[in-house]
Amino acid sequence: MKIDYEKLRAEFKSPLYIYDFDDIKQRFLRLKEAFKARKSQLCYALKANSNLSLLKMLVNLDSGFDCVSINEVKRALRAGAKPYKIIFSGVAKTKDELKEALSLNILYINLESKAEMLCLEEVAKELNLKARISIRVNPNVDAKTHPYISTGLHENKFGVEINEAKAMYLYAKKSEFLEPVGVHFHIGSQLLDIKPIAEAATIVATLVKELKALDIELKFFDVGGGLGIDYEKAEEPNLYDYAQSILAALSGLDLTILLEPGRFLVARAGTLLCSVLYEKQTQYKRFVIVDAAMNDLLRPSLYNAYHKIELPYSKNLEPSKCDVVGGICESGDFFAKDRVLPKTKEGEIMLIKDAGAYGFSMSSNYNSRDKICELALENSKIRMIRKRQSFETQIQEEIEFLEE
Instruction: Enumerate the active-site residues.
Output: 329
Q: What is the rounded distance in angstroms from the CA atom of residue 266 to the CA atom of residue 21?
A: 9
Residue-wise over 296-314: b if at least 16 C-beta within 10 A, else e? bbbbbbebebbbbbebeeb
Handedness of CA 272, 275, 277, 279 (dihedral sign): positive
> Which one of residues 64, 182, 226, 326 is an interface residue with ligand PLP (CB under 6 A)?
226
Task: Report yes or no: 296 and 223 within 8 Å, Cβ to Cβ.
Answer: no
Rounding to the nearest 10 degrees, give the CA dihedral for residues 179, 181, 183, 184: -90
DSSP string covering 185-230, please? Answer: ---BSSB--SHHHHHHHHHHHHHHHHHHHTT----EEE----B---
Q: Is 164 annotated as a binding residue?
A: no
Q: Is 312 annotated as a binding residue?
A: no
Which residue, 246 or 290, is less far from ligand PLP as judged by CB?
246
> Which one of residues 189, 245, 301, 363 is an interface residue with ligand PLP (CB under 6 A)?
189
Distance from chain centroid for Cα 131: 26
Nearest to 194 by CA among 257, 222, 159, 236: 236
Position 359 contacts ligand PLP (CB under 6 A): no
Indicate the SS3 state at residue 10.
Answer: helix
Position 89 contacts ligand PLP (CB under 6 A): yes
Q: Smallest distance from the beta carbon of 162 to ligand PLP, in angstroms?
A: 18
Q: Is 261 annotated as a binding residue?
A: yes
Number of residues that bind ligand PLP (CB under 6 A): 18
Q: Is 339 annotated as a binding residue?
A: no
Q: What is the rounded distance in angstroms from the CA atom of residue 90 to the CA atom of residue 389?
A: 29
CB-side exposure of 4: number of CA atoms within 13 Å? 7
For strand 40-45 and strand 64-67, is the pairing parallel, antiparallel, or unpaired?
Answer: parallel
> Which one of residues 8, 16, 59, 66 is an interface residue with ligand PLP (CB under 6 A)?
66
Which residue, 106 or 227, is less far from ligand PLP as judged by CB?
227
Task: Report yes or no: 289 and 279 within 8 Å, Cβ to Cβ.
Answer: yes
Which residue, 3 or 162, is less far from ligand PLP as judged by CB?
162
183 φ, ψ (degrees, to nearest 5) = -135, 145
Q: Smallest distance from the beta carbon of 261 to ligand PLP, in angstroms?
A: 5
Position 260 contacts ligand PLP (CB under 6 A): yes
Which residue, 50 or 189, is less far from ligand PLP as judged by CB?
189
* x/- letters, 303..342, toward ligand PLP (CB under 6 A): ----------------------------------------
Q: Is 260 annotated as a binding residue?
A: yes
Q: Smallest distance from the beta carbon of 184 to ligand PLP, in angstroms?
A: 7
Q: Smallest distance from the beta carbon of 372 to ligand PLP, in angstroms?
A: 21
> Which one of residues 15, 180, 261, 356 is an interface residue with ligand PLP (CB under 6 A)?
261
Which residue, 227 or 375, is less far from ligand PLP as judged by CB?
227
How far is residue 240 from each of residues 37, 40, 243, 314, measured CA to CA in Å? 11, 14, 5, 39
Which residue, 68 or 133, is less far from ligand PLP as judged by CB?
68
Q: Smallest distance from the beta carbon of 47 to ligand PLP, in angstroms?
A: 5
Which residue, 307 or 369, is less far from ligand PLP as judged by CB?
307
Position 186 contacts ligand PLP (CB under 6 A): yes
Position 45 contacts ligand PLP (CB under 6 A): yes
Q: What is the rounded distance in angstroms from the CA atom of residue 250 to the CA atom of residue 209?
A: 10
> Which one of residues 93, 263, 268, 307 is an interface residue with ligand PLP (CB under 6 A)?
263
Nearest to 81 by CA among 61, 101, 102, 51: 61
Q: Smallest distance from the beta carbon of 43 to ligand PLP, in angstroms?
A: 8
Binding site members for pyridoxal 5'-phosphate:
226, 260-263, 358
Binding site members for substrate:
263, 299, 303, 330, 358
Binding site members:
226, 260-263, 299, 303, 330, 358
| Interacting residue ranges for ligand PLP, rule: CB under 6 A | 45, 47-48, 66, 68, 89, 186, 189, 224-227, 260-264, 357
